[in-house]
């Protein structure tokens, strides 16, 4: 994520006074553009970085993935009107936040937030060290969740000889990758809904014909959120299975 986006669209719970004043002015920006609230602390096991949406329809019931002590504020019509009305004046007040960057700790926290919001490509296993069980996938999924970073592509390298078939979500949905690539495994389709290629394209799902796999095989391949989440539009590619 760009530095200007982190400046405008994040707030730190334990920030200095300049940052707090600036963040008051940036409330409308965070409200309208899905801003994030961070908590950064040093513990005996190292640095802990937690984040959550600053505002959410579920309010306090929406909490950080990594701690239940960090929760969102609620959203409501009057807050929406206030955010739209005060957006421009708030941006002017946000310049006070620049003074906080005179302190090295503020710059360090900024870099931690920037790193945590920058999308990554993640993988479970590798071509030379494949995963052979669903328990391994669950453990690796938990490890990725603890890092709590946006994931662009998640690749799972499975042992072909294990003939691993994923029948229920082992933690992939929580990681929420934009694209899932399965190597040596597939997801068992539990509902045959008769979808065809044209239907998939009309829903803006990716459809890929891969080397050694027929288009019919790809059409019959399950779609991750179609099986696990009724509101999703999500295609995963199957490689070499």
Question: What confidence tens digit (pLDDT) does each residue in 198-240 have?
Answer: 433 443 333 333 333 333 443 444 443 333 333 333 344 444 4
pLDDT reading at 9 higher than 80? yes
pLDDT band at 153 (very low <50, low <70, confident <90, very high): confident
Do 20 and 45 touch, CB atoms closer than 8 A? Answer: no
pLDDT of residue 170: 82
Mean pLDDT for the stretch of residues 71-84: 96
Identity of the highest mean pLDDT range in 13-27, 140-154, 199-213: 13-27
From CA 166, how far away is CA 6, in angstroms rounded? 37
18 contacts: CB under 8 Å, gap ≥ 6? 96, 97, 98, 99, 100
Higher pLDDT, 186 or 121: 121
pLDDT reading at 197 higher than 60? no
Phi, psi of 116 (to 5 degrees): -65, -25
The secondary structure of 151-201 as a DSSP string is: EEEEEEEB-GGGT-EE-S-SSHHHH--SEEEEES-EE---------HHHHH
pLDDT of residue 185: 74
Do 65 and 38 touch, CB atoms closer than 8 A? Answer: no
DSSP reduced 3-state for 29: helix
From CA 123, how far away is CA 171, in angstroms rounded? 13
Cα atoms in the 13 Å half-sphere on the side-chain side of 127: 2
45 contacts: CB under 8 Å, gap ≥ 6? none
> How many helices and strands (H and E) does the chain possess?
10, 11
Domain regions of the chain by residue span: 3-117, 120-239
Do 27 and 83 touch, CB atoms closer than 8 A? Answer: yes
In the chain, what percentage of residues exceed pLDDT 70? 76
DSSP reduced 3-state for 53: strand
193, burial (CB in 10 Å: exposed 0-12, middle 13-18, buried 19+): exposed
pLDDT band at 178 (very low <50, low <70, confident <90, very high): confident
Mean pLDDT for the stretch of residues 157-175: 78
Instruction: Give buried/exposed letters for 96-131 (b at 16+ CB in 10 A, else e).
Output: bbeebeeeeebeebbeebbebbeeeebbbbeeeebb
Q: List the alpha helices (DSSP H) in 33-151.
A: 77-93, 104-117, 134-147
Higher pLDDT, 198 or 153: 153
């Amino acid at each position: 994520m760009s530095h200007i986006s982190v400046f405008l669209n994040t707030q730190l719970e334990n920030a200095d006074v300049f940052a707090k004043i600036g963040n008051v002015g940036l409330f409308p920006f965070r409200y309208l553009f899905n801003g994030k609230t961070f908590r950064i602390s040093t513990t005996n096991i190292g640095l802990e970085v937690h984040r959550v949406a600053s505002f959410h329809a579920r309010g306090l019931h929406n909490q950080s993935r990594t701690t239940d002590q960090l929760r969102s504020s609620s959203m409501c019509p009057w807050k929406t009107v206030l955010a739209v009305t005060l957006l421009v004046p708030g941006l002017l007040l946000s310049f006070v936040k620049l003074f906080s960057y005179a302190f090295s700790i503020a710059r360090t926290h900024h870099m931690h937030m920037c790193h945590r919001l920058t999308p990554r490509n993640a993988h479970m296993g590798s071509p030379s060290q494949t995963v052979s069980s669903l328990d391994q996938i669950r453990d690796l999924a938990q490890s990725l969740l603890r890092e709590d970073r946006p994931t662009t592509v998640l690749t799972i390298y499975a042992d072909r000889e294990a003939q691993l078939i994923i029948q229920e979500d082992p933690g992939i949905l929580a990681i929420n990758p934009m694209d899932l690539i399965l190597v040596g495994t597939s997801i068992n389709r539990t509902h045959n809904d008769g979808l065809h290629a044209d239907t998939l394209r009309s829903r803006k799902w990716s459809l890929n014909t891969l080397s050694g796999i027929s288009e019919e095989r790809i059409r019959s391949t399950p779609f991750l959120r179609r099986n696990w989440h009724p509101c999703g539009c999500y295609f995963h590619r199957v490689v070499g299975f």
